[in-house]
């Protein structure tokens, strides 16, 4: 059985990795499918996100990383998937994910949506939260893989906390001015 785990993964978090690893135990093959969304301005390009995921998952032999645009269900049909894998953190995730699952079922009755509850230690975690913490100078190396933390610190031109510092990081400019996450609509991520 083949499952597709779709998302923007901007950036991949330890919560995403939790779902990926558990999904790889349940399915013969899992494809992490990075969505190209023209309506969003991501922190990382699609190739950068694909590389971050690949560097985070070399221990998973039944995992593939790919990208797509358009409807997830169309990509799943094209790849002959039997399931869509989705992570659930909180009740509001369930409401939105259930609506999407029902909608996808009207588009393809052959593809099931499988929900995995995120492990307790990651139930608060989202890519948007990680970016906000980093944007304002907070430590994120306990929320994302170490190499991803370094990439994020470089994006915001911040010197990383000592636990994630490397010698090739040098701040070059002030971080971009943005609104706090609480005042913007957060992106739904596993």
Give binding residues for ATP as ranges.
8-9, 16, 87-89, 97, 122-128
Asked if residue 140 lies in contact with residue 161, where contact means CB atoms within 8 angstroms, the answer is no
One of 49, 56, 127, 158 is an active-site residue; which one?
Answer: 127
Residue 80 designated active-site: no
Asked if residue 134 lies in contact with residue 102, where contact means CB atoms within 8 angstroms, the answer is no
Binding site: which residues?
8-9, 16, 40, 72, 86-89, 97, 122-128
One of 49, 89, 131, 158 is an active-site residue; which one?
Answer: 89
The span from the CA of 188 to the CA of 92, in Å, is 10
Residue 127 designated active-site: yes
Residue 16 designated active-site: yes
Residue 22 designated active-site: no
DSSP assignment string, 46-103: HHHHHHHHHHH-TT-TTEEEEEE-S-HHHHHHHTT-SEEEEEE-SHHHHHHHHHHHHH
Binding site for substrate: which residues?
8, 40, 72, 86
One of 22, 25, 36, 40 is an active-site residue; which one?
Answer: 40
The span from the CA of 1 to the CA of 41, in Å, is 34
Active site (catalytic) residues:
16, 40, 89, 127
């Amino acid at each position: 059985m083949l499952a597709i785990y779709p998302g923007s993964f901007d950036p991949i978090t330890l919560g995403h990795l939790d779902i990926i690893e558990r999904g790889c135990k349940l399915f013969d093959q899992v494809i992490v499918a990075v969505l190209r969304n023209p309506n969003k301005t991501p922190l990382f390009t699609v190739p950068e996100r694909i590389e971050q995921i690949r560097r985070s998952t070399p221990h998973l032999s039944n995992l593939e990383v790919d990208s797509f645009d358009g409807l997830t269900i169309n990509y799943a049909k094209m790849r002959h998937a039997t399931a869509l894998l989705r992570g659930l953190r909180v009740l509001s995730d369930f409401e939105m994910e259930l609506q999407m699952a029902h909608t996808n079922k009207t588009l393809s009755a052959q593809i099931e949506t499988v929900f995995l509850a995120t492990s307790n230690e990651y139930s608060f975690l989202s890519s948007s939260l990680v970016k906000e913490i980093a944007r304002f100078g907070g430590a994120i190396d306990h929320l994302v893989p170490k190499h991803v933390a370094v990439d994020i610190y470089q994006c915001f031109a911040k010197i990383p906390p000592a636990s994630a510092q490397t010698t090739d990081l040098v701040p070059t400019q002030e971080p971009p001015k943005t609104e706090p996450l609480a005042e913007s609509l957060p992106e739904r991520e596993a």
